[in-house]
Amino acid sequence: MPKGKKHTPEQIVRHLRDAEAGLAAGRTVGQICQEIGISDKTYYRWKSLYGGMKTNELRRLKELEQENLRLKKLVAELSLDNAMLKELAVGGQVHMSFPVHRDV
């Protein structure tokens, strides 16, 4: 069995909702985990990360994380451009025969 993520965040939220219903029906965490195919430790980790989260909230979180990553890349590229321009300006020679444009 390959190691790594076997469940998407959406599946995890659904499993946690099902687990809450199972606990309310009197089943134990161990029984629920056995049905899902995870360990108790994984269940409690999921619960701490995604507990109480709805699917649309999770979708919004993923969108914000992607936007954050895009903005971090943009800041890194702009910082690099700024550092290069400062280095050129210190030397007293600024030779730019073509505009520097990057698609982000």
Q: pLDDT tens across 27-70, in order?
A: 999 999 999 999 999 999 999 988 888 878 888 988 999 999 99
Average pLDDT over residues 5-18: 88
| Among candidate residues 50, 36, 41, the one with its CA nearest the CA of residue 6 | 36
What percent of the chain shows pLDDT beyond 90?
57
Q: Torsion over CA of 36, 42, 48 and 50, rounded to 10 degrees?
A: -40
Give residue 43's Cα distance to chain centre: 19
Average pLDDT over residues 77-86: 93
At 99, the pLDDT band (50, 70, 90 cuts) reads: low
Query: CA 30 to CA 67: how far, in whole Å?
Result: 38
Q: How many CA atoms lie within 13 A of 80 on its CB side?
A: 9
User: Does the pLDDT of residue 84 top 80, yes or no?
Assistant: yes
What is the model's pTM?
0.57
**Higher pLDDT among residues 41 and 102, named by residue:** 41
